[in-house]
Amino acid sequence: MTPADPGNWWTLPSHRSWLDTESSRLLDFGTTLDHPAGGAAWLDDRGNPDLDHPAHTYITARMAHVHFLGSVQGRPGSRRRADRVFDGLSTTLRDNTNRGWFESSADATSPDAVKSAYTHAFVVLAASAATAVGHPRGRELLDEALDTVDSRFWDERYGMCSDTWTVDWSELDPYRGINANMHMVEALLAAADAGAPELWRERALRICDNVCRWSAANEWRVPEHFTAEWIPQLEYNRDDVANQFKPYGATVGHGFEWARLLVQASLVAGGRDYVDAAQSLYDRAAVDGWQPGPTPGFVYTTDWTGQPVVTGRLHWVLCEAIGAAATLGRVTGEERYGSDYRTWWDVAADYFVDRVDGSWHHELDSHNVPAATVWSGKPDLYHAVQATWISRYAPNTSMLAALQPDSD
């Protein structure tokens, strides 16, 4: 056994116990997950279904993912919750006419409905977890989801995934984006860990190669938006800076998220070494995004010189900073990551963890007061639960691999 290092909390049995307790508290939030239409509901501040929202496919998939993996750890109730919402991916949310998956339960009758790589990445992720735990429809759904990614989204010429189609697959939007590809890397690594062909792992690595190249050419701020030919569009959405999925500028949390994913990918990357790139992305995100002072936290976005644009604090940004610090700290042994990790968990505990109504506040303003400018409610558990797991377990190619019984 590796001796505990008080400078690195993740080695302390007491801290690991705290993480286990927090992940359990999160998974207990919102025991009523089911949307009447099928799939998972968007949860409000107290964990009740907010039926002003339809059942979103990405939230359904993320909730199935975390509860399937909760069941791997022996969490009573998680498997039943996962099974119930996962059923929505085979019924309400699946397009039985055109194949693939709707964005939400409202899309079957919407003339403006689309199909996105972002949503399909999460379907792959959920199906990978379902396959790993032996769900009777897991493998079938994973194969179908990967076939859809292959035939509709994967672009062999560029080694990237396209972004958005019309619902009948008749027209492909010229926009290309990094966000969907980032989650596709996570999903494809998990799929390979669940037994999918190695082709998918290699495609995840090709995406990583491209992102490293573009980021290195942009002072390690990740370009988010591109043309159909994958030319960066740095001024995209300059007039919509707080967009939920396509904000202007550099998204601080994505710098951290890519840093973590690159370390995970490096474990199966053969001759590729992504750790230096991961450290550069981490450093840039930390320098640009961190706001010290009496109400510390990370801004949501910056411009291309590192100046804050959207100064509100989103919980997922802090979650990814925590995860990246834990991952790089374990891999490199550098003390600075342990210091960052302690600081950022302090911020989470002091401001984001909601001990009254449960879960974490999903958004705070620049004074760390709960807000709802970008997000309302506490829709799902994905980022916060994974922050506790990434902190708790040794780095691996996916959360699926990290949480296996012999990985502790």
pLDDT band at residue 317 using 50, 70 and 90 as cut-offs: very high
Strand-pairing partners, residue 116, are: 164
Here the tokens at position 31 are 């025991």
- pLDDT tens for residues 155-193? 999 999 999 999 999 999 999 999 999 999 999 999 999
Set 15, 65, 120, 383: catalytic member: 383
- pLDDT tier at 353 (50, 70, 90 boundaries)? very high
According to the model, what pLDDT value does residue 407 have?
56
Chain position carrying tokens 């039985």: 96
Q: Is domain 21-407 given the CATH code 1.50.10.10 in the classification?
A: yes
For residue range 6-17, list pLDDT tens digits in order: 779 999 999 999
Q: What is the DSSP letter of 149?
A: I
Q: How many Å apart are CA 186 and CA 402, to the nearest integer?
A: 13
Answer yes or no: is pLDDT of 3 > 80: no
Q: What are phi and psi of 264, to 5 degrees?
A: -60, -45
Across the range 124-152, mean pLDDT stands at 98
Q: Please say if 254 is a catalytic residue.
A: yes
- Residue 406 pLDDT grade (very low, low, confident, very high; cuts 50, 70, 90): low
| Residue 188, burial from CB neighbour count under 10 angstroms (0-12, 13-18, 19+) | buried
pLDDT digits (tens, 9 = 90+) for 220-257: 999 999 999 999 999 999 999 988 889 999 999 999 99
Instruction: Decide if 42 contacts 56 (C-beta within 8 A).
Output: yes
Is 362 catalytic? The answer is: no
The Cα diameter of the chain in Å comes to 60
* pLDDT average, residue stretch 322-332: 98
So what's the pLDDT on residue 179? 97
What are 253-312's pLDDT values in tens digits? 999 999 999 999 999 998 899 999 999 999 999 999 999 999 999 999 999 999 999 999
β-bridge pairing 164-166 and 114-116: antiparallel
The reported pLDDT for the residue numbered 242 is: 85
Q: What is the pLDDT of residue 1?
A: 41
Please report, for residues 49, 208, 330, 386, the alpha-carbon distance to residue 182 in angstroms, rounded to integers and kept in the order given: 28, 8, 22, 16
How far, in whole angstroms, is CA 116 from its chain's centroid? 15
* Residues in Cβ contact with 347 at an 8 Å cutoff, skipping those fewer than 6 apart: 296, 297, 318
Report percent pLDDT > 70 for the chain: 98
* The length of the chain, given as a count of residues: 408
pLDDT tens across 58-87, in order?
Answer: 999 999 999 999 999 999 999 999 999 999
Instruction: Specify the pLDDT at position 198.
Output: 97
The reported pTM is: 0.97
Out of 35, 183, 254, 361, pick the active-site residue.
Answer: 254
State the burial class of residue 306 (Cβ atoms within 10 Å of its Cβ: 0-12, 13-18, 19+).
Answer: middle
For residue range 81-122, list pLDDT tens digits in order: 999 999 999 999 999 999 999 999 999 888 899 999 999 999
Segments making up each domain of the chain, as ranges: 21-407
Please give the Cα distance from 392 to 378 (Å, whole number).
Answer: 23
Q: Which residues contact 299 (CB under 8 A, 6 or more apart)?
A: 252, 289, 291, 308, 309, 310, 311, 312, 313, 366
Q: How far is CA 165 from CA 104, 115, 146, 185, 202, in A?
A: 15, 5, 16, 20, 24
Distance between CA atoms of residues 386 and 125, nearest Å: 13
pLDDT tens profile 197-216? 999 999 999 999 999 999 99
Burial class (CB in 10 A: 0-12, 13-18, 19+), 164: buried
